[in-house]
């Protein structure tokens, strides 16, 4: 196949053409969610852009295998032995067991992904499934002399590496300032950046999940799960590792340190990082309290597709600033766009020449460091193009394999003419009906359909999900 897909590789700090280990195939890994709370829309920006990357690679002809972990074992704010066990904190807050919390928020995460048309990776593996693999890797690292036991914990020895700061031209000192924010001195460490591979001694009393190990009963460090889970499903060579920019240090740096020390060779050639979503006061985070979720946007009357389009209109490497004002503008633009597309007829034959030339333009935009805003501009250009509707519609359906904006299936807002409050009510009812069907309570599902019908709203189950219309 023709090889021209380029994107910015954080490892080399260059836009590069990808050359996978196996021709035509891409082994791709995504750091998954920590499931102790809902994902906020800032986290979901990364997943949206990684979804576009996967679909774009498929669009240009690659066979992609994508793996993602679920962090369901005590994950700290840093890899130091401080702070609270977030899973346990979540469980206490909601009077549930840790595993119930993990399951609940894993489901919630995938519900959000579904609303945003984010494809589920080919393999999704919870960290708690892989304890023997973690222990094995720690054993090998100890045997090879890359790790040491101190104070009951096993640490990775960063002084054994010729180049620990693989990603950065920053000085060691600058990086340490960043780390020091949330790290208390750990007297067991030989070097400042050494990190825990396996804990048996923890400062917080009751870490909920623990396992037997050669070093005593304990639990894995933060970074080891991504190295093990990716190798379990993708082997010793990976092509693309994705994550948010805040994963670069220390998480991805430590993943490389332990993986390459374990394997004895280079592990992953391309690193893809998505920048932050900010609000006016700075980076969005869970710890700020009132954080934005997809459900909250829906309650406020926004179609999740509007948020997806908002993300796609910006380049993944740039910070993106969220405001309701910008989202309102996006909502209007999205409404107009789907209305225009809904007005296209399907008559006539597809003009093959026009189809091929637009497909090439679209593919070039994706191959050019994933220029998603250009890809959307091409949709607008196409609508103005002097060609028949059948060609336009065929192309838009083809583009939407990557954009995933429901361009040909969305309800056109203007034709619906319902207010935001009624729409939110309808969406809540559709969601309630979905839950009822999932619980096999078909009587309730039918009752909800009747209730909506009584208000003049008809719903229809389609392959793309539930669609509704005003009668």
The least distance separating Zn ion from the CB of residue 307, rounded to whole angstroms, comes to 24
> Which DSSP string corresponds to 7-55?
EEETTTTEEEE---SBTTEEEEEE---BTTSPPPHHHHHHHHHHHHHHH
Nearest distance from C-beta of residue 409 to Zn ion, angstroms: 34
Beta carbons within 10 angstroms of residue 332's beta carbon? 13
How far apart are CB 255 and Zn ion at their closest, in Å?
Answer: 6
Torsion of CA 376, 398, 468, 331, to 10 degrees: 0
Angle at 2 between CA 17 and CA 392, to 5 degrees: 100
Taking the least distance from each CB to Zn ion, the nearer of 254 and 411 is 254
Task: Please report where in the chains the tokens 């430590």 appear, as a residue.
Answer: 254
Q: How far is the CB of 71 from Zn ion (least distance, A)?
A: 8
To Zn ion, the closest distance from the beta carbon of 284 in angstroms equals 20
CB of 46 to Zn ion, least distance (A): 12
Residues in contact with 147: Cβ distance below 8 Å, sequence separation at least 6, in sequence order: 138, 141, 154, 155, 156, 157, 197
Q: Output 157 or 255, the one with its CB closest to Zn ion.
A: 255
Task: Dig out the tokens for 422 from the structure.
Answer: 């009624």
User: CB neighbours (10 Å) of residue 234?
Assistant: 21
With respect to Zn ion, which residue has the nearer C-beta, 227 or 391? Answer: 227
Cβ closest to Zn ion, residue 133 vs residue 303:
133
How far CA 134 is from CA of 144, 259, 302, 316, 366, in Å, comes to 16, 11, 42, 32, 37
CA–CA separation, 67 vs 28, rounded Å? 6
Reading the block at residue 249, the tokens are: 């240090």
In this complex, which beta carbon is closest to Zn ion, that of residue 73 or of residue 226?
226
Nearer to Zn ion, 235 or 282 (CB): 235
Residue 251 CB, nearest approach to Zn ion (Å): 6
In this complex, which beta carbon is closest to Zn ion, that of residue 31 or of residue 382?
Answer: 31
What 3-state DSSP class applies to 270?
A: strand
**Which residues would be at the binding site for Zn ion (CB under 5 A)?**
31, 226
Question: Two tokens at 224?
Answer: 């080891």
Residues across the chain: 471
* DSSP category for residue 260: H
Nearer to Zn ion, 20 or 250 (CB): 250
Minimum gap (Å) between residue 369 Cβ and Zn ion: 23
Distance, CA of 275 to CA of 13 (rounded, Å):
15
Q: Which two tokens stand for residue 77?
A: 């704010």
């Amino acid at each position: 196949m023709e090889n021209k897909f380029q994107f910015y590789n954080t490892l080399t700090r260059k836009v590069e053409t990808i050359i996978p280990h196996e021709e035509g195939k891409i082994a791709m890994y995504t750091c998954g969610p920590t499931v102790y709370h809902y994902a906020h829309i800032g986290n979901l920006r990364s997943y949206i852009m990684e979804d576009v990357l996967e679909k774009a690679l498929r669009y240009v002809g690659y066979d992609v295998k994508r793996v993602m972990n679920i962090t369901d074992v005590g994950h700290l704010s840093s890899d130091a032995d401080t702070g609270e066990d977030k899973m346990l904190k979540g469980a206490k807050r909601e009077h549930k067991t840790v595993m119930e919390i993990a399951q609940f928020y894993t489901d919630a995460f995938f519900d959000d992904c579904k609303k945003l048309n984010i494809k589920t990776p080919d393999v999704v593996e919870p960290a708690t499934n892989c304890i023997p693999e973690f222990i094995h890797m720690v054993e090998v690292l100890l045997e090879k002399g890359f790790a040491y036991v101190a104070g009951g914990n096993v640490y990775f020895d960063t002084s054994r590496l010729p180049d620990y700061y693989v990603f950065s031209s920053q000085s060691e000192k600058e990086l340490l300032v960043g780390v020091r924010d949330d790290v208390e001195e750990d007297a067991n460490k030989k070097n400042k950046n050494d990190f825990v591979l396996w804990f048996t001694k923890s400062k917080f009393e009751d870490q909920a999940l623990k396992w037997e190990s050669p070093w005593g009963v304990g639990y894995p460090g933060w970074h080891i799960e991504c190295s093990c889970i990716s190798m379990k499903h993708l082997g010793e060579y990976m092509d693309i590792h994705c994550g948010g920019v805040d994963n670069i240090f220390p998480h991805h740096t430590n993943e490389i340190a332990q993986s390459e020390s374990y394997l004895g060779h280079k592990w992953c050639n391309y690193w893809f990082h998505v920048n932050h979503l900010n609000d006016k006061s700075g980076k969005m985070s869970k710890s700020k309290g009132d954080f934005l979720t997809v459900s909250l946007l829906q309650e406020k009357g926004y179609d999740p597709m509007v948020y997806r389009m908002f993300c796609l209109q910006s380049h993944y490497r740039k910070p993106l600033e969220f405001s309701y004002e910008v989202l309102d503008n996006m909502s209007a633009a999205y409404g107009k766009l789907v209305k225009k597309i809904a007005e296209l007829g399907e008559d006539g034959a597809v003009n093959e020449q026009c189809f091929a030339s637009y497909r090439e333009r679209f593919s070039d935009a994706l191959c050019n460091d994933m220029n998603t805003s250009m890809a959307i501009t091409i949709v607008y250009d196409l609508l103005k193009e002097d060609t028949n509707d059948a060609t336009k519609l065929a192309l838009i359906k083809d583009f939407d394999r990557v954009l995933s904006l429901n361009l040909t299936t969305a309800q056109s807002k203007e034709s619906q003419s319902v207010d935001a409050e009624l729409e939110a009510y309808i969406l809540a009812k559709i969601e309630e009906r979905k839950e009822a069907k999932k619980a096999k309570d078909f009587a309730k599902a039918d009752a909800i359909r009747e209730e909506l019908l009584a208000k003049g709203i008809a719903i229809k189950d389609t392959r793309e999900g539930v669609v509704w219309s005003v009668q």
